[in-house]
Structure 1
Amino acid sequence: MFTRMALIGSAEFIERIQSVAPLVGGIELDSYIYKQPHEAPLIIKDLKPCDVVFFSGALPYFFSKKEHEKLPVPVIYLAQDELAIASSLLASFYHKHISLDRVSIDLFNASLVKNVLTSVDINTLPEHIIDLEKMLNRDVFDLAALVSFHKSLWEKGAIDLALTSVHAVYNQLIEHGIPAMRMADPKITLIRGLQEAKSQANYAKSQSAQVAVGYVSIHSTDKEHERLIRSFAHDIHATVQQLTHSSYTLYSTRGDIEGVIEQDLFLEYLTDFPEIAIGFGYGSTIIEADKNAIVALSFAEKELNKNCAYILTNEKELIGPFPEEQRQQRLINDSPAFLQIAQKAKLSPANLSKIIQFGKVRQSHHFTAADLSDYLQVTRRTTERMIKKLVEHGYIHVVGEEMTYQQGRPRAVYILNMPIYN
């Protein structure tokens, strides 16, 4: 299965990444181009379903930190290394014939320059260098001030070349007629970046696919509890085994459990259940998950006369107690993009919201009408009507067909083509 990456960066960065992507293999790229790094937060809101987000560098990553920390997928950026610094300095010496003391440099982690130079027995460090990492650590960054750093040195006659790590700074320096070079991203660095992004996505998928075992103990004789158990099991795609009239075992996956937690459905069920204790355990095997679930349940049962749930991960991290850790839940999605999609496709905001949530919790981006129908708990015909409307406006794409083992037409396979993370 392909890893779907959302690339966020300048047009030049996107072009270079796309040129080396075939050398990595097994990846699909969705490109999001900005003109300025501070545009990254707005791009986050327009991301389509993906397995990992890959930023061109630390700046757009920093500017959108508040937004991308909410994403349910890994987020990484291409970090500068000694190879990038060495390649850039070599290019300035060879092509421009400029000595080190006549170059102004901005980069992330100025110690990288010292590492490169001392490795070849050059003990003289550049005189004009600014460390962008220190600026980010102070939670301030002024692009105009960075341009001014290079420009003032040029106007004083102190430099012959500006070497910058920021594409937007390079563009402005060129507009001012100042000789400038962009910090190099060697081919091997780009390839390693893509490989790291793919690795992070695969790890997240493996974590999401971990076995989850849940033990449920109900301290009430209310007959309503069985219906609630079945409803809860449906939402976490679990199979149910009834142990006694008041205890159950659920078998699901870590991704499905964390999906209902993300939606706050877990807290809703805990509120509805009459006197219940739940313990979920994650593990690489059912045996490991089962042992962790038993431990988690023992913690939940210590909370007398109130509903309680704990989760014990395979890393032995105990999460809980639920529902003590309440999180604010936004009940209305009133973003202009969301409302525009609903109006164009002539869908109710409620149904569109459910479809978007469906896209968030699924481990696979591909789905059939049957998958969506089961999630929405509506008829197949109703689901197909909604899909048709979204396909007509380009918000869902048909990507193939699923062959059935029975007679009949192959079922279409779809993928969402709309922002789902805002």
Structure 2
Amino acid sequence: MLTIGVVGSQQFIAEISKYYGHYPTYKLISYTYTSPRELNTLIERAVKECNFLLFSGIIPYHYAKKQLDQYPIGSSYLSFNENMVALSLLAIHYHHSFKLSEMSIDLPRKRFLEGVLNEAGITEDADYVKEYPWIYDFQEERQLSIEDFVEFHSVLYEQKKTAFALTSIHAVYDKLQAKGIPSMFMVQSVPTLMEGLEKATTLAKLNQSKNSQVAAVCFNSNRNDQLEHFAKALQAKVTPSDSGLQMVLSNRGVLQTLILNQKLADLLNDTTNDFEKTAVGIGYGYTVKEAETHAITAFDFAEKNRSKLDLAVYLLDEEKKLTGPLFQNEEQYSLKNEDPVVKKLSAELKMSSKNISRFINFLQVNDFRPFSSQELADYFSISRRSAERMIKKLLDQQSLQVAGEEQPYDQGRPRSLYQAGSMLKGLSENKNGS
């Protein structure tokens, strides 16, 4: 049974845990924090107990991202969307009758609010809005200051410029409540919570499939003591291959952990310290034969570059993507001939072949079920508008077709659903067969 850790504030966990029972084939564990700064300790526990992590939103995910990169564990977060803003404004209007000009609002991007107002035909402006769009740039080393947002809302309220605060940050809501400032945390609807859980279960299965792949390692040493030393460190075994090379067989999860924690280079150096120049090939595959074949191909590339490096390590994965030399200025190449239809579609749609391939993967993950623009946006980690533009291109080329509409739990406007046309289904079948 796969274990999914759900990470969030006490308020979030109280809401989402109501729906754990919808997924009886998964074990769901809650990890509660009062401030994102507490995440380090929680993550240390969670990565040992879970196969996948679902975060309540972009903020805790941002705080945890650097730490998560050290482990071969999959993760996702609930996306912020216009529906949350619309439901929150409706609740405030209905229960408190405040105008936009009487509220202070914080949210990841101001355009979420502007989009709701434009679509609803509301001409009133929100005067006091604080956004934090940089949170989506995971390359940026920057921490979100809870105190800055608490001060933003508090000062406006104390100066009687506002009468109510709407926040997208649980820790800010807790502090505003403690100060006695009328406030509300943005509404997370049932569909949003359910979609988050559905996405987590789907991605958890994919992640397990990858981590359980066979990993084969071969290098230019025939000394059994060295091979056994290396295999023991990986809790693996040494086996001869048809090529005549000795292979160490493990699994992808173990190798990925060593690579991410920068321990594989030290281990290889210790194992091969009698050699001036060392070539190492690593292969991933769904079967032992596939992993061994990929390891030998990677080894051939390493051999060609051994004269230039003390330790030449190349890795070839199940998609025939070659990465190397590892631990150096590594680059990635594709050794798989790209489908000419993908190239043709890429040119017609003015989309990269990579995005076409990712889109096909998205269809496969969803078993070709009808999907919404929000589901596509979540998969690509892009805005819903960007997803809608992608869908429009595919509709114009008749690669997609409209499958109907979905009423999201009787709340909000019906959402259009789309499904793949015959060309994309054919591409998927070719891809699986390659």
TM over 0.5: yes
Q: 1:172 aligns with which of 170, 175, 179?
A: 175
Matched residues in 1 for 2:91 and 2:38: separation?
30
**Aligned twin of 1:280:** 282
Q: Secondary structure in 2 aligned to 1:45?
A: helix
Matched residues in 2 for 1:257 and 1:65: separation?
20
List per-residue Cα deviations over 1:127-171 (Å, max 9, x = no partner): 211103347867243222211211222223322321111222222
2:121 pairs with 1:112: no
Contact 1:215 1:294 in 2 (8 A): yes
Q: Look up the equivalent residue of 1:7 and give its one-letter code.
A: V
Matched residues in 2 for 1:282 and 1:135: separation?
34
Contact 1:271 1:307 in 2 (8 A): no
**Aligned twin of 1:153:** 156
**Aligned twin of 1:4:** 3
List per-residue Cα deviations over 1:9-42 (Å, max 9, x = no partner): 2211111111111123432232222222222223
2:227 pairs with 1:229: yes
Contact 2:227 2:248 in 1 (8 A): no
**Aligned twin of 2:318:** 314
Q: Look up the equivalent residue of 1:67 and give its one-letter code.
A: Q
Contact 1:270 1:323 in 2 (8 A): no
Q: 2:192 aligns with which of 174, 185, 189?
A: 189
Contact 1:214 1:280 in 2 (8 A): yes
Q: Secondary structure in 2 aligned to 1:94?
A: helix
Q: Secondary structure in 1 aligned to 2:49?
A: coil
List per-residue Cα deviations over 1:339-368 (Å, max 9, x = no partner): xxxxxxxxxxxxxxxxxxxxxxxxxxxxxx
The TM-score normalised by the length of structure 1 is 0.66
Contact 1:40 1:64 in 2 (8 A): yes
**Superposition pairs of residues 321-360 of structure 1, within 5 angstroms:** 321=325
Displacement of 1:270 in angstroms is 4.6
Contact 1:237 1:256 in 2 (8 A): no
Matched residues in 2 for 1:258 and 1:316: separation?
17
Contact 1:243 1:249 in 2 (8 A): no
Matched residues in 1 for 2:219 and 2:78: separation?
45
Contact 1:267 1:322 in 2 (8 A): no
Q: Look up the equivalent residue of 2:114 and give its one-letter code.
A: K
Matched residues in 2 for 1:208 and 1:318: separation?
18
List per-residue Cα deviations over 1:307-345 (Å, max 9, x = no partner): 5432111344333436769xxxxxxxxxxxxxxxxxxxx
Contact 1:10 1:35 in 2 (8 A): yes
The TM-score normalised by the length of structure 2 is 0.65
Matched residues in 1 for 2:246 and 2:134: separation?
54
Contact 2:105 2:129 in 1 (8 A): yes
**Aligned twin of 2:387:** none
Matched residues in 1 for 2:314 and 2:212: separation?
19
Displacement of 1:105 in angstroms is 0.9
Question: Judging changes above 3 Å, is the alpha-carbon distance between structure 1 residues 86 and 266 closer, same or farther for their aligned structure 2 residues?
Answer: same
Sequence identity (%)? 31
Matched residues in 1 for 2:250 and 2:176: separation?
56
Q: Look up the equivalent residue of 1:125 and give its one-letter code.
A: D
List per-residue Cα deviations over 1:54-110 (Å, max 9, x = no partner): 222222233344333323312332221112111111111111122222221111112
Contact 2:227 2:271 in 1 (8 A): no
List per-residue Cα deviations over 1:247-291 (Å, max 9, x = no partner): 324554322433454583564245334545432222345565444
Q: Look up the equivalent residue of 2:77 and give its one-letter code.
A: Y
List per-residue Cα deviations over 1:378-418 (Å, max 9, x = no partner): xxxxxxxxxxxxxxxxxxxxxxxxxxxxxxxxxxxxxxxxx
**Aligned twin of 1:57:** 57
Matched residues in 1 for 2:249 and 2:63: separation?
40
Displacement of 1:112 in angstroms is 0.9
Contact 1:24 1:191 in 2 (8 A): no
Question: Judging changes above 3 Å, is the alpha-carbon distance between structure 1 residues 316 and 123 closer, same or farther for their aligned structure 2 residues?
Answer: farther
Matched residues in 2 for 1:107 and 1:10: separation?
17
Q: Which has the larger radius of gyration?
A: 1
Q: Secondary structure in 2 aligned to 1:314?
A: coil
Q: Look up the equivalent residue of 1:229 and give its one-letter code.
A: L
Contact 1:236 1:260 in 2 (8 A): no
Q: Look up the equivalent residue of 1:311 and give its one-letter code.
A: L
Matched residues in 1 for 2:184 and 2:256: separation?
46
Matched residues in 2 for 1:259 and 1:152: separation?
47
**Aligned twin of 2:102:** 102
Question: Judging changes above 3 Å, is the alpha-carbon distance between structure 1 residues 33 and 101 closer, same or farther for their aligned structure 2 residues?
Answer: same
Matched residues in 1 for 2:257 and 2:152: separation?
47
**Which sits farther off after the overlay, 96-105 or 275-284?**
275-284
Q: Which structure has more RCO (C-alpha within 8 Å, separation ≥ 6)?
A: 1
Q: Secondary structure in 2 aligned to 1:141?
A: coil
2:8 pairs with 1:26: no
Contact 2:227 2:238 in 1 (8 A): no
**Aligned twin of 2:15:** 16
Question: Judging changes above 3 Å, is the alpha-carbon distance between structure 1 residues 63 and 214 closer, same or farther for their aligned structure 2 residues?
Answer: closer
Q: Secondary structure in 1 aligned to 2:188?
A: coil
2:211 pairs with 1:208: yes
Matched residues in 2 for 1:77 and 1:253: separation?
27
Contact 2:59 2:135 in 1 (8 A): no
Q: Secondary structure in 2 aligned to 1:89?
A: helix
Q: Look up the equivalent residue of 1:317 and give its one-letter code.
A: K
Q: Look up the equivalent residue of 1:155 and give its one-letter code.
A: E
**Aligned twin of 2:359:** none
Q: Secondary structure in 1 aligned to 2:129?
A: strand
Displacement of 1:183 in angstroms is 0.5
Contact 1:239 1:252 in 2 (8 A): no
For structure 2, the 5+ residue unaligned runs are 330-434
**Aligned twin of 1:248:** 246
Q: Secondary structure in 1 aligned to 2:318?
A: coil
Contact 2:70 2:257 in 1 (8 A): no
Contact 1:240 1:251 in 2 (8 A): yes
Q: Look up the equivalent residue of 1:4 and give its one-letter code.
A: T
Q: Look up the equivalent residue of 1:98 and give its one-letter code.
A: F
